Structure 1
Amino acid sequence: MIGYYIHHQGRGHLNRALAIAAELRETVVGLSSQRRPEGWRGDWLDLPRDDESIEPRDVDAQGRLHWVPLHDSGLRGRMAVLSQWIAETNPQLIVVDVSVEVALLARLLGVPVISVALPGIRADDAHQLGYDVSAAIIAAWPQEAEGMISGLSAPARRRLHCVGAISRFGSRGDEGRPALGAEGQRRVLLLGGAGGSTLDASTISAARTSTPDWHWTVLGSRGGRWVDDPWPEICSADVVVTHAGQNALADVAAARRPAIVIPEARPHEEQVTTASVLAGSSRWPAIVRWDFPETGWQALLDEAAALDGDRWSTWNDGRGARTAAAVIESELTPAVDSEVA
């Protein structure tokens, strides 16, 4: 049995877990404060939230960890539930996406850990500790994307497996892409995420007004709608304007759509780092802008539309989840309790 811890912020961690779990041959139990998603095949352990205290104190233990607020009943309950589950089920391994504290707890209880790495600057003590106790580290970006993460120790870097982008849609190319509309309008999709956006409706409206030859669809951002399945909209776009979150880029790459990438502010420079890698290479069909442009959208969309979307194939080759599952299965060992043996 494999435990799979899924962080509750946004939807990216959950979508990645769904894709990887579907490729694993072992029974996988989800461990999360998120509700069990449709399509999850194994059991699901509901965890108490640990971020609902009105005045959390000393949340990082003087910089050694990331989130351990003092005397927090949610944190205490969360770790107690996890500890009890580990004691009762004796899992072979736990995948952690992402939490240094959960990785440390599992390893302190004698369970091997595989951590999922995120892009950005990860040189702080907490990240170092989490990676150091992990048997392997999975990175959902291609080996060719140099500079996606910094601060790893030499031993941790040797355990880093760059498996390529992981999209819940795999790699399905032009599947479902309709022909141009009757009026010949090209389509642009503005793709927001569940993790928050700095865009406002008036800025988006101005961009839309300045490009009358383009039909705009807005998902997730302010002024847009939320859909559980953005795949049809991604496939029907001639250009996708997106933030630099891992899952959004993985989905755009799966659909082989040219992109305009505008990173959002995230801890540890996560999206800025990814955008910098894309900006520094002509390998992938993406144009990077550091802020949402106030003018020049017609020329920008024309430039992006001229890019060859098939060049995303080295970012997302459709095998990322399968490769990640292979890394996980390579670390499996029989879970033998020494007292029973």
Structure 2
Amino acid sequence: MVIGWYVHHHGFGHVARFLAVHPHLRGPVRAFSSLPRPAALADDVEWVVLPDDADAVEREDGSRFDPRHADPTVRGALHWAPHDHPGHRARLARIAAGAADLRAMVVDVSAEVVAFARLLGLRTIAVTQPGERTDAAHALAYDLADRILAPWAHGAVPAGALAARTDRVVWTGGISRYDGRGATTPDAGRTVLFLGRVLDDDVRRDAERLLAAAGWRTHAVGHDADSRIDDPWPLVTSHTVVVSAAGQNSIADLAAAGARAVVVAQDRPFDEQRHTACALHRWGLARVAPEGVDAAGILALVEAAASDEPDWSRWQVVGAAQRAAEAVEAMLP
């Protein structure tokens, strides 16, 4: 019997979380995703590629079908279930075809796949994220899930939607693929790493100029395709200050590194990153940039962060992936 795992295809965070947790699962795993198979994935993990279900398609008669105009939210009851989209129908059919021998399904993240997995009679584990997730689709997913995994420290990020369902919630702590990996030797002097596209390019370049004038050396990675790297860990652990987004994986990685950080919350659905950034500010774990921060503001935040001593142990990264795996396996028949 196999554990199923649905990996949402937006960004890199969901697949990074899967790659961190699956080595701790004792049984075989079958992953479902629109993403291509990750190069780092172990050979014994089956990866089922799902059809896309959000793109416009051309019909046989030459007309164009746009799923955004096909009642995709079912009048607000769901997030994405458009009428008549062949990719959406094929996507669910492929999940159903691969579900016959599953023992359970972990869903990271999709309200529709949670509902579908539960309708298939599977023990269903929903991975949640911070933010104002009180809409009907999230409520349905949380009500149907047999267990809910919250990958942050208990009490860090308020989550009103989980308050009535705490009997089924497991707060794992922040899940980082770097948990247990040793740090590299810090660079000499004052150094700043811009990690990902956290600022508009012109603001980042202006900030780099101001930082250089103030005696800082800067390094930027991940802000475009050419600067993306597979393993930023040596950079994260060797720079004096890291400027990062406030996504769950980014924060877990900062915690694993014990980094001094400036966090720039990105605009995401349900204000996920703003909620996380508020938690970091409240717990004194990172300097949080205000909305619309400019280059001078980044310089001031970096200068302040350089003397911080954040207690990242509060984010509970150590053992989080193992705790997530144990929570999944506890649901198995």
Structure-2-length-normalised TM-score: 0.91
Contact 1:188/1:237 (8 A) holds in 2:
yes
Aligned residue in 2 for 1:72: 85
Greater helix share, structure number: 2
Aligned-partner Cα distance in 1 for 2:36–2:52:
12
For the residues of structure 1 that align with 2:3 and 2:248, how far apart are their CA atoms? 24
- Paired AA for residue 166 in structure 1: I
> Shift of residue 303 of structure 1?
1.2
Distance 1:297 1:103, change over 3 A: closer
Partner of 2:49: 46
Distance 1:133 1:26 in 2: 24
Residue 121 of structure 1: SS of its match in structure 2? coil
1:82-97 equivalences in 2 (<5 Å): 82-87=95-100, 90-97=101-108
1:209 aligned residue: 209
1:176 to 181, 184, 188: 184
Aligned residues of 1:171 and 1:317 also touching (Cα < 8 A): no
TM-score of the aligned structures, taking structure 1 as reference length = 0.89
Compare 296-305 and 73-82 and name the one that shifted more: 296-305
Q: Distance in 1 between matches of 2:224 and 2:19?
A: 27
* Shift in alpha-carbon separation, 1:258–1:59, aligned structure 2, 3 A: same
| 1:321 equivalent in structure 2 | 321
Q: Return the offset for 1:18.
A: 0.7
- SS of equivalent residue, structure 1 residue 295: helix
Quick one: distance in 1 between partners of 2:175 and 2:217? 29
Query: What are the residue-to-residue correspondences of 1:1-341 with 2, within 5 Å?
Result: 1-41=2-42, 42-53=45-56, 55-56=66-67, 57-87=70-100, 90-147=101-158, 149-152=159-162, 154=164, 156-172=165-181, 175-180=183-188, 184=189, 186-192=190-196, 199-212=199-212, 213-221=215-223, 225-282=227-284, 284=285, 286-291=286-291, 292-309=293-310, 311-333=311-333
The answer to whether the 8 Å contact 1:200/1:223 transfers is no
Secondary structure class of the residue paired with 1:86: coil
In the TM superposition, what whole-angstrom CA distance separates every residue of 1:160-195 from its partner, at most 9, and x where no partner exists?
11110001111435x212441xxx3x11111116xx
Farther off after superposition, 313-322 or 133-142: 313-322
Residue 145 of structure 1: how far off its partner (Å): 0.6
Once the two structures are TM-superposed, the CA of residue 278 in structure 1 deviates from its matched residue by 1.5
* Alpha-carbon distance between aligned partners in 2 of 1:255 and 1:144, rounded to the nearest angstrom: 21
Q: Give the direction of change, closer, same or farther, for the CA distance of 1:144–1:153 in structure 2 (3 Å limit).
A: closer
The 3-state SS of whatever aligns with 1:303 is helix
Contact 2:260 2:308 in 1 (8 A): yes
1:222 is displaced (CA, Å) by: 5.1
Consecutive unaligned residues of structure 2, counting only runs of 5 or more, are 57-64
Structure 2 contact 3–102 (Cα < 8 Å) conserved: yes
CA distance in 2 between counterparts of 1:151 and 1:178 reads 41
Stretches (4+) displaced over 6 A? none
Cα deviations across residues 30-69 of structure 1 (Å, max 9, x unaligned)?
A: 1111111123231111111111125212111111110111
Q: RMSD between aligned alpha carbons?
A: 1.7
Q: CA deviation at 1:158?
A: 2.0
CA contact (8 A) 1:96 1:113 kept: yes
Offset at residue 223 of structure 1 (A): 9.3
Residues 112-165 of structure 1 deviation map (CA, whole Å, 9 limit, x = unaligned): 100000100111110011111111100110113141x222351x2221111100
Secondary structure of the corresponding residue to residue 93 of structure 1: strand
Which amino acid counterpart does residue 176 of structure 1 have in structure 2?
Answer: T
Q: What is the identity percentage for the equivalent residue pairs of Structure 1 and Structure 2?
A: 39
Greater CA drift, 267-276 or 296-305: 296-305
- Against the structure 1 CA distance between its residues 179 and 275, is the aligned structure 2 distance closer, same or farther, given a 3 Å change threshold? closer
Query: Displacement, 1:201?
Result: 1.9
Tell me, in whole angstroms, the C-alpha distance in 1 between the residues paired with 2:301 and 2:99.
Answer: 52
Q: Which runs of 5+ in 1 are unaligned?
A: 334-341
Distance in structure 1 (CA, Å) of the matches to 2:208 and 2:294? 12
Q: What is the match of residue 62 of structure 2? A: none
